[in-house]
Amino acid sequence: MNDIPDHFTDESLFAFLDGQLSASEEKAFERHLAACRSCSAELERMQALFSDLESLSELPLQVDLADRVLARLPRPAPAPRFLRAASALQLLAAAVILVLAIPLLLLQPGFVEWSAGVQNEFESLGARLEPLSAFVSTTILAAEDLIMESVQGFGQPDALAAVAATLIPLLASSSLLWIIGNGILIPRLRRDFSRR
């Protein structure tokens, strides 16, 4: 398309309108355009057609397609019973393990020293916090007594500490599994079921 003929072909005319000519071709085209009234008129005619296409009004749609489309879309179905039961059981298991593990956590070696340290910290806060400090100290001591009394029937503190060491990772992994199970797997399974 290096040589623009005396009068434009449709190919060069439309290539010009579509911005498909090279810079040199475009210059040659424009030079011819300035000298040729016929081609200039033809270009204007096509530009008007393009403009009419661009502003062409839309024909009215006489129905509402939304309801028809929505009726054909898969709806999310309620989760199957076993999924709902699994979710509830996971929650229950996590709660039970939490209840069992917290007292055992308190029996971990070093906890008594740690609680004494906390007690000392509170005591050092001074007279302004004395009522609060006394309350915390009393509460911690009472909790220790209560725990020691309640676990005496189950065995020696060392053995319980070993059990606690096992339960703590169990608690962590159960909680993690619960989060994964409810947060990721169940919604995905629910979507899969709804597509069936």
Partner 1 sequence: MDAPDDRDLVRRVRRGEVDAFGDLVRRYQQSVFNVALRVLRNREDAEDLAQDAFIRAYERLDRYDIDRPFGPWVHRLTANLAINSLKRRRTLFELDEERDRTSPAGHSAPEQALVRKERDRDLHAALTSLPAHYRAAIELRHFQEMSYQQIAAALGVPLNTARSHLYRGRRLLAERMERP
Q: How many helices (H) and strands (E) does the chain have?
A: 9, 0
Residue 63 is a binding residue for partner 1 (CB under 8 A): yes
Figure out which of the listed residues 23, 53, 99, 127 binds partner 1, where binding follows CB under 8 A.
Answer: 53
Question: Among all chains, which residue has been given the structure tokens 């070696």?
Answer: 109
Residue 38 is a binding residue for partner 1 (CB under 8 A): no
User: What value does the CA radius of gyration of the chain take, rounded to a whole number of Å?
Assistant: 41
Figure out which of the listed residues 3, 6, 58, 113 binds partner 1, where binding follows CB under 8 A.
Answer: 58
Q: Nearest approach, Cβ of 91 to partner 1 (angstroms)?
A: 22
Residue 57 is a binding residue for partner 1 (CB under 8 A): yes
Residue 195, H or E segment: helix 186-195
Residue 65 is a binding residue for partner 1 (CB under 8 A): yes
x/- track of binding to partner 1 for residues 6-25 (CB under 8 A)? ----xx--x---x-x-----
CA distance 96 to 183: 20
Provide the 10 A C-beta neighbour count for residue 17: 14
- Rounded to the nearest 10 degrees, what angle do helices 10-17 and 37-54 cross at? 50
Residue 127 is a binding residue for partner 1 (CB under 8 A): no
140 versus 185: smaller Cβ distance to partner 1: 185
Closest among 194, 182, 196, 184 to 88, alpha carbons compared: 182
x/- track of binding to partner 1 for residues 76-105 (CB under 8 A)? x-----------------------------
CA distance 19 to 189: 52
Residue 61 is a binding residue for partner 1 (CB under 8 A): yes
Binding stretches for partner 1 (CB under 8 A): 10-11, 14, 18, 20, 45-46, 49-50, 52-54, 56-61, 63-70, 72-76, 191
